A = this chain, B = another copy of it.
Amino acid sequence: MELWYTEKHTDSVKFSIQVDRQLYSGQSEFQRIDVFDSKEFGRFLTLDGYMMLTEKDEFIYHEMMVHVPMAVHPAVKRVLIIGGGDGGAIRELVRYPTVEHIDLVEIDELVVEVCKKHLPQTACCFNDPRVHLHFEDGLRYIRHCEDEYDLIIVDSTDPFGPGEGLFTKEFYGNCYKALKADGIMVNQHESAFYADDAIAMQRAHKRIVQSFLISKVYQAHIPTYPSGHWLFGFASKKYHPTADLNGVKWNALGLKTRYYNTRLHAGCFALPNYVEEMLRDAE
């Protein structure tokens, strides 16, 4: 027999992975959760059928979400992660001894439980004493935060289903308020290639630009996401993502990474013209 997982990247484009076994399937209050094992990608997590991460390429997403802002901000102590129940962003963050406190606000406790059991590669560091889990709606949580965080990482699902409210103007405005005077927010930004993803990307960008003085977009190659060309938003009150990169300091930390490096940091903000045009149209 053959067992195939298929995600429709558009109505007429499919990406399929041969599956060895389904390790978990369940329904939470919020979404359907599945974990599969595969030869090519190792284990992978889907939410409502959408690919969230695979063991083979999650390092790209998580390194780019975390190390880009960490190499710019000179002294990150308090971090808020919205979403990120797989633990990948936490894994990268706890490598920094200067980080003192991490709040992770995940709406779906079952995601964390399932990842702890089936995806130890990412869900490895929830027991770090600096990590504080809050199982509630990030949208509500952030309303009551003010001048509290150096870094906010919006590691959301796609902007449909439980992640939908996170792509609003109100939400990004509250993130701005929750950040200290030199805070940075990083946002998973979807992609520019397929029309529906591009609309979501433009919408997120437009709303972030309304709140943040400095708002730039960077890119990474993530093979298991639609088109493989994934974008992130870097929104900041003070620091510029490339002019304020402190490469010497970051490299002195001696962190071993598989995707991120400080040369690539500068390079990943150089976007193709068609993406630049979409961003300008949204601004």
Contact = CB atoms under 8 A, between A and B. Distances in A.
A222 to B, nearest CB: 8
Interface in A1-55: 4, 10-18, 38-40
B18 A272 contact: no
Contact of A13 (B18, B227, B276): B18
Contacts of A38: 12
Interface string A191-204: 00110000000000
| Most interface-central of A4, A60, A221, A258 (chain B CB within 10 A) | A221
Nearest to A223: B227
Interface string A82-116: 00000000000000000000000000000000000
A271 interface: yes
A234 interface: no
Contact of A258 (B17, B39, B229, B272): B272
A228 B192 CA distance: 13
A33 to B, nearest CB: 23
A219 interface: yes
Nearest to A20: B12
B219 A272 contact: no
Interface string A253-283: 0000111110111111111111010000000
A61 to B, nearest CB: 12
B13 A40 contact: yes
Contacts of A271: 264
A270 B273 contact: no
Contacts of A264: 270-272
B270 A193 contact: no
B15 A15 contact: yes
A224 to B, nearest CB: 9
A270 B258 CA distance: 13
| Most interface-central of A60, A219, A267 (chain B CB within 10 A) | A267
Contacts of A257: 273
9 contacts: A13-B15, A13-B40, A193-B221, A258-B272, A258-B274, A259-B273, A264-B270, A266-B266, A268-B270
